[in-house]
Structure 1
């Protein structure tokens, strides 16, 4: 049974989420102390986290960053904030998806099911051998990119995007292929989710001094190339 950690300060919303997820045989854990989220996370060892943004003491962006330092566990942000910048900021701080309140429970469940399948189920990464191009190695076993003695921990979606780009090198990976390979149903994908994840992956490659870069091929998709070529 998959365990889901719900970090939400509105008791009514948290109760609604628990009630609905329990119908789908998920084991739900709600936050007990907002100052001990990391301790609770380590104790529960959830398969997925549902994170609100407006929380006591520190916001959801802060806790997403903290969790991402420890784990590649999928994080879904659920918030009443509807601005694009909030969604972008959420993904840049480690979230895998962003759902705005009020939300459809069917879409909510579809996103959770999809992320869990991608992470642990039938669509999970099965190839564990590392791939090295130029000075950069993608290691699925440790979910990291490595270059010049540096390394960067990837999120699930960053790992999946990297794997597709590395395997296709030096060819272009069509945008549609990236969407269909990473999300079960593109209907549920926010418009800028893919571009934000690509942007975050670019910055992680730069941070480890990779000689690779991801080029945007307008009208087609993305291409992994050696810098300067």
Structure 2
């Protein structure tokens, strides 16, 4: 049974989510003390976190960042604040996906099911026990690490999945549709800017570790991972 941690201070929404997911055999826990979100996370050990942004004490960005320091557990942001800047900031703080309020329960269920399948279910088996190396850069699919001889960084789940697709396709171009289909179970439910902001974050991490690789935007088509010219 997969476990969901619901971090939502509007109790009617939290209980609606809990009741709905329990119908589909999820074990759900609602955070009650919003000053102990990380403690609750570590005690409950969920497979996925549904995180609101506007919370008492500290906001959801803060808690996403804290969780990401100790775990690669998927974090899905649930908020009415879903401008492009909010999405960028959410990803910068460790979020993997976004759901905008007001929402349809079928959309929330589809997104969570897709995340669970990608990370833990039948689609996760291809990520086991593999290391990919291109140029001076190695991608470890078990530890979520991207590294060179100089430096290393830890990836979020979406960054790991994007990296895997781009590494395996190098030097071929990967279309936006191919990336959406590979990374999100149903691209119909993906916010328009989610892929773009994940690509931007991954580019920054490649630069930070002095990678010889770079992600090039192929206008109107998609993205290409290439080695920089010396």
TM range (shorter): over 0.9
Aligned to 1:214: 215
Following the alignment from structure 2 to structure 1, what is the Cα–Cα distance between the partners of residues 193 and 212? 26
Quote the residue 1:8 is aligned against.
8
Q: Which residue of 2 aligns with 1:116?
A: 116
Aligned counterpart, 1:73: 73
Task: State the secondary structure of the residue aligned to 2:94.
Answer: coil
Q: Which segments of 5 or more consecutive residues in structure 1 lack a partner in the other structure?
A: none
Cα deviation for residue 124 of structure 1 reads: 1.1
Aligned residues: 229
Mapped to 2, the partners of 1:180 and 1:83 lie a distance apart of: 23
Instruction: Report the TM-score, using the length of structure 1 for normalisation.
Output: 0.96
The Cα of 1:125 is off from its aligned counterpart by: 4.6
SS at match of 2:210: coil
C-alpha distance in structure 1 between counterparts of 2:228 and 2:63, whole Å: 34
* Two-structure CA RMSD over aligned residues (Å): 1.3
SS at match of 2:191: coil
Superposition TM-score, scaled by structure 2 size: 0.95
- State the secondary structure of the residue aligned to 1:126: helix
Gapped runs of 5+ residues in structure 2?
A: none
Corresponding residue for residue 195 of structure 1: 196
1:167-186: CA deviation from partner (whole Å, max 9, x where unpaired): 11111112111111111211
1:105 alignment partner in structure 2: 105
Query: Take 1:100 and 1:171, find their aligned partners in 2: how far apart are those partners?
Result: 34
Deviations, residues 137-169 of structure 1 (Å, cap 9, x unaligned): 000011110113421111111111100111111
Distance 1:82 1:221 in 2: 24
Show the counterpart of 1:26.
26
Q: Which aligned runs of 4 or more in structure 1 are off by greater than 6 angstroms?
A: none
Measure how far apart 1:40 and its partner are: 1.2
